[in-house]
Chain A
Amino acid sequence: MGQVIAKNAASLALSAGNQGSQQYLTFTLNSEVFAIGILNIKEIIEYGALTEIPMMPEFIRGVINLRGAVVPVVDLSARFGGNQTTVARRTCIVIVEMTHVIEDSEVRQDIGIVVDSVNEVLEIPPAEIEPPPSFGARIRADFIQGMGKVAGKFVIILNIDRVLSVDEMAQLAAVGARSGSDGDDTAH
């Protein structure tokens, strides 16, 4: 059942990417509003019961138990190069389904992202989406899919495939772990 829905969602995402307006979930992170396409989102849960993984870079917050599945949780703020999100009353974990390719076969993986608070689901017509600025957004340009105009303000629509690229994060994790222990060693 879950798979059927997921497949539909994936094919919808493909078609919706090309034409028509799409729905986006907006959320706040460090008092800035971001949006991600709703089709990748599986659910939103309260922040809690997170197990930290040692020797991992800051942006990998840990893992949670999502009804029997162990799901990694990414700290989006740290991923953008900032500090780790401080947990508050409205902190949520948005569960996003990612597809990545391992040895020529597609693998689905759920990843949680930590956000300060979830706002609403919006419909943004393609005409209202501007291309990302080459600089100035203070996050990597390839993370931005576009700038949505909502009530006269810009909302950063994230390119979730880039932001949560499993391959890239795993590589960073490997490098991060090494440099982390190096730094520790020199401190001795």
Chain B
Amino acid sequence: MDEITSVFVTESREQLAAMESALLELENSPDDADILGAIFRAAHTIKGGAGVIECNFLVAFTHVVESALDKLRNGEINANADLVALLLACSDHMGNLIGVLESGAEAPDAELQGEGDALLARLQRDWLNAGGADAATHPAAPAADAVLSSGGGVVETDCWHISLRFGPDVLRGGMDPLSFLRYLGSLGSIERLETIADAMPAADEMDPEACYLGFEISFASSADKAAIERVFDFVRDECTLHILPPRSKLADYMQLVMALPEDSMRLGEILVRIGALTQAELEEGLATQNAAALLPPDEDEDSALAAPPPQLGEILVEQKVVQPELVEAAVVKQKQVSDKKAAEARLIRIPADKLDRLIDLVGELVIAGASVNLLASRAGQADLTEATSIVSRLVESIRDSALQLRMVQIGETFNRFNRVVRDVSRELGKDIELVISGGETELDKSVVEKIGDPLMHLVRNAIDHGIEPPEVRAEHGKDPRGRLELNAFHDSGSIVIEIVDDGAGLNRDKITRKAVERGIIAAGQTLSDNEIYGLIFEAGFSTAEQVSNLSGRGVGMDVVKRNIQSLRGRVEVDSKVGEGTRFSIRLPLTLAIIDGFLVGAGEASYVVPLDMVVECMELQDQPRDRNYLNLRGEVLPFIRLRELFELPGARPKRENVVVVKAAGQKAGIVVDQLLGEFQTVIKPLGHLFRNLRGIGGSTILGSGEVALILDVQALAQLAARGEDHAHDTAHGR
């Protein structure tokens, strides 16, 4: 695949994504002109690009879609759910066609072609033909109003007339005039075509790199003027283009004849030859024209004729050759194109590994900076300390911006689910509203990439198993329209993603029964709610009574759990029968660098993620064998790091408590010393320590020593499990 094609493929996929999301929006607000415009632009851009790389099967398909979109945009047909569904299917098909192009195949295989034809047939039958009759006359009507009538009737032809003069630089600019004609042919059929080679100089004066050609084309098409004009977008600045709609006034033709550089008699003949005018019409026209020429010439028209037409639109309006609204549309479009170019210029695509390398280096810089700070404060020179503090402030901002490079909003991932929810709920005959919040929550790119699949499973499950069919909902006195929420937010150093449905909730008895059936638990075993809900993540577990093609094959939930665990995250379920289910995915900060709070215990230093730290205090008057304290009237359980990690040496006289908050719960961590805030680079501990709980990673201190980063939540779980276990063993189990 050559470079242009690969750029086209990438960009088209983006356009398709934009088109899809706009189509989904359209469903909710069918009359929004902005959305319609966006959809049309996306389709048009794809078609234009496909035309340039001569991917004909894509052009052919997209063209029909575009015509439908155009009608939609012009208000000739109105959007409804059926049309949106059909257009969504079309956008999928375009995606498939792009896939074909990407795979390097000449044309789509028969099956895909069949699919495309079926879609097009539906579009044609249901939407295009309905408004077809008035579309043909539509462009002509305003022209009749706008044109100053100077006599003459309407010319009897159903074809567009296109006068095209390519500028001399077209070939040098790398454009092939013929490819435009070929592309024009995809909009309709070129009935007659006359090549105008009048500008061609004698052979020895001719510059073989210059283009001297012009064409007079009689063109049958249901496309509108703007669409035809757009064919020539790429050579807009370098060619003279006149387009006359079918059944234009004779005067228009005459003006056209006058506007063109060639001799008017000869042009008139050509027009007759290509069937745009009849001989009688031509004679009538010329007669009128001559009569008009006797009058003092209109100045504007004069200058317009004299000057080469760089701004075609303006002149055309002056000449009343073109409807002002079409020019306006073209101008708006041009502006959009240039706006888009500007936006693209502000984006740079870079390979992810370059970014990773930069972040690694920034990480090293942070470590080195910390060590310089340490030395400077030891040296005790005021100006040195000041200089290093400036440096560290700068390093901090570099760190922040470097990290920002990797962060992407989760909204894009969430928005994909609009389509999923729509399609799946329709398939199942359910009516479900998707509510997204917190889409602006930023996540590390690598996490966003990996969280898509688990989310997909959970969303599908919620639609399939969670939310009941409308009848059942109505029976239970619920709104027949189901509600599915996707939320994302930051919570004490983690990112939480929630999938909430207002469906039937998890059925405890059913889960238990199934688990016994599958031999996951023993019959008669009593389990807590949380344990029961946890069973749905076991391999080979599915409570769906009927296996659908969406879910219910018993693969999924265990995969979901594994995927989330591989991101060092956790998934929790909370459910109320009849009210719904809430899945919370909690992902740790997997960023390269965090702000930490440094504490000491024994000989080692540990880092607590700073955003989890609530406060610090001295541990006072503590009974030796109870691990909780009174925090302003609250019971605060705590973990003694020394005990948990079995650190050697005696407890120091004074101990400190770091109060941390994790997953909505407060807990204390008892340490020997508090060493203060510390900016730190996370160094993963590697595969060897993959089963280690309670330690989230490591970091290198300014002194070169390695400090461990505490995973506070895992620590709390570890401590809880340890106590349960101790309790069990004490009772001889």
Asked if A11 is at the interface of the complex by the 8 Å CB criterion, the answer is no
User: How far, in whole Å, are A65 and B700 apart by their CA atoms in the complex?
Assistant: 7
Contact across chains for B685 and A54 when beta carbons are under 8 A apart: no
User: How far, in whole Å, are A173 and B693 apart by their CA atoms in the complex?
Assistant: 11
Which residues in A have their C-beta under 8 angstroms from that of B694?
54-55
- With A54-B647, A70-B683, A70-B700 already in contact, the answer to whether A182 and B691 are too (CB < 8 A) is no
14 pairs from A and B in contact (CB 8 Å cutoff): A51-B706, A54-B694, A55-B646, A55-B694, A63-B698, A64-B706, A65-B700, A70-B685, A72-B686, A166-B688, A185-B725, A185-B726, A186-B729, A188-B729
Contact of A173 (CB < 8 Å), options: B645, B692, B706, B729: B692
Contact across chains for B691 and A174 when beta carbons are under 8 A apart: yes
Which residues in B have their C-beta under 8 angstroms from that of A182?
725
- With A72-B688, A109-B686 already in contact, the answer to whether A63 and B729 are too (CB < 8 A) is no
Contact across chains for A177 and B691 when beta carbons are under 8 A apart: yes
Residue of chain B at shortest CB distance from A72: B688
B400: shortest Cβ distance to chain A, in Å? 21
Contact across chains for B706 and A70 when beta carbons are under 8 A apart: yes
Residue of chain B at shortest CB distance from A62: B706
Which residues in B have their C-beta under 8 angstroms from that of A62?
706
Residue of A52, A173, A180, A186 ringed by the most chain B CB atoms within 10 A: A52
Can you list, as one digit per residue, whether each of B704-733 has a CB less than 8 Å from chain A (1) or not (0)? 111110000000000000100110011000
Contact across chains for A109 and B688 when beta carbons are under 8 A apart: yes
Can you list, as one digit per residue, whether each of A99-117 has a CB less than 8 Å from chain B (1) or not (0)? 0101000010101000000
Which residues in A have their C-beta under 8 angstroms from that of B684?
70
Asked if A60 is at the interface of the complex by the 8 Å CB criterion, the answer is yes
Asked if B364 is at the interface of the complex by the 8 Å CB criterion, the answer is yes
User: How far, in whole Å, are A100 and B686 apart by their CA atoms in the complex?
Assistant: 12
Query: Interface size for chain B: under 10, 10 to 19, 20 to 34, or 35 or more residues?
Result: 20 to 34
- B-contacting residues, A74-119, CB 8 Å: 100, 102, 107, 109, 111
- B-contacting residues, A166-188, CB 8 Å: 166-167, 169-171, 173-174, 177, 180-182, 184-186, 188
Contact across chains for A49 and B705 when beta carbons are under 8 A apart: yes
B81: shortest Cβ distance to chain A, in Å? 43
- With A55-B645, A182-B725 already in contact, the answer to whether A65 and B704 are too (CB < 8 A) is yes
A134: shortest Cβ distance to chain B, in Å? 30
Contact across chains for A51 and B708 when beta carbons are under 8 A apart: yes
Contact across chains for A188 and B730 when beta carbons are under 8 A apart: yes
A34: shortest Cβ distance to chain B, in Å? 21
User: How far, in whole Å, are A166 and B689 apart by their CA atoms in the complex?
Assistant: 9
Which residues in B have their C-beta under 8 angstroms from that of A54?
644-647, 694-695, 708
Contact across chains for A169 and B688 when beta carbons are under 8 A apart: yes
Contact of B704 (CB < 8 Å), options: A49, A55, A69: A49
Asked if B349 is at the interface of the complex by the 8 Å CB criterion, the answer is no
Which residues in A have their C-beta under 8 angstroms from that of B690?
170
Asked if B235 is at the interface of the complex by the 8 Å CB criterion, the answer is no
Contact across chains for A177 and B692 when beta carbons are under 8 A apart: yes
Asked if A68 is at the interface of the complex by the 8 Å CB criterion, the answer is yes
Which residues in B have their C-beta under 8 angstroms from that of A122?
none
Residues of chain B having any CB pair with chain A under 8 Å:
364, 367, 604, 644-647, 683-695, 698, 700, 704-708, 722, 725-726, 729-730
Contact across chains for B367 and A68 when beta carbons are under 8 A apart: yes
Contact across chains for B689 and A53 when beta carbons are under 8 A apart: yes
User: How far, in whole Å, are A63 and B697 apart by their CA atoms in the complex?
Assistant: 11
Which residues in B have their C-beta under 8 angstroms from that of A173?
688-689, 691-692
Asked if A38 is at the interface of the complex by the 8 Å CB criterion, the answer is no
Asked if A160 is at the interface of the complex by the 8 Å CB criterion, the answer is no
B260: shortest Cβ distance to chain A, in Å? 66
- With A70-B698, A182-B725 already in contact, the answer to whether A51 and B707 are too (CB < 8 A) is yes
Q: When A and B form their complex, which 10 residue pairs have the shortest distance between CB atoms, in order from nearest? A: A54-B645, A174-B691, A51-B706, A70-B683, A185-B726, A70-B698, A185-B725, A188-B726, A65-B700, A65-B706
Which residues in A have their C-beta under 8 angstroms from that of B698?
51, 63, 70
Which residues in A have their C-beta under 8 angstroms from that of B683?
69-70
User: How far, in whole Å, are A169 and B689 apart by their CA atoms in the complex?
Assistant: 9
Contact across chains for A181 and B687 when beta carbons are under 8 A apart: no
Which residues in B have their C-beta under 8 angstroms from that of A33?
none
User: How far, in whole Å, are A113 and B647 apart by their CA atoms in the complex?
Assistant: 22
Which residues in B have their C-beta under 8 angstroms from that of A68?
364, 367, 700
Which residues in B have their C-beta under 8 angstroms from that of A65?
700, 704-706
Asked if A56 is at the interface of the complex by the 8 Å CB criterion, the answer is yes
Residue of B691, B693, B695 ringed by the most chain A CB atoms within 10 A: B691
- With A51-B708, A185-B725 already in contact, the answer to whether A170 and B689 are too (CB < 8 A) is yes
Which residues in A have their C-beta under 8 angstroms from that of B700?
65, 68, 70
Which residues in B have their C-beta under 8 angstroms from that of A53?
685, 689, 692, 695, 708
User: How far, in whole Å, are A107 and B726 apart by their CA atoms in the complex?
Assistant: 39
Residue of chain A at shortest CB distance from B681: A68
Residue of chain A at shortest CB distance from B363: A68
Contact of B687 (CB < 8 Å), options: A64, A102, A185, A188: A102
User: How far, in whole Å, are A167 and B725 apart by their CA atoms in the complex?
Assistant: 28
Contact across chains for A100 and B687 when beta carbons are under 8 A apart: yes
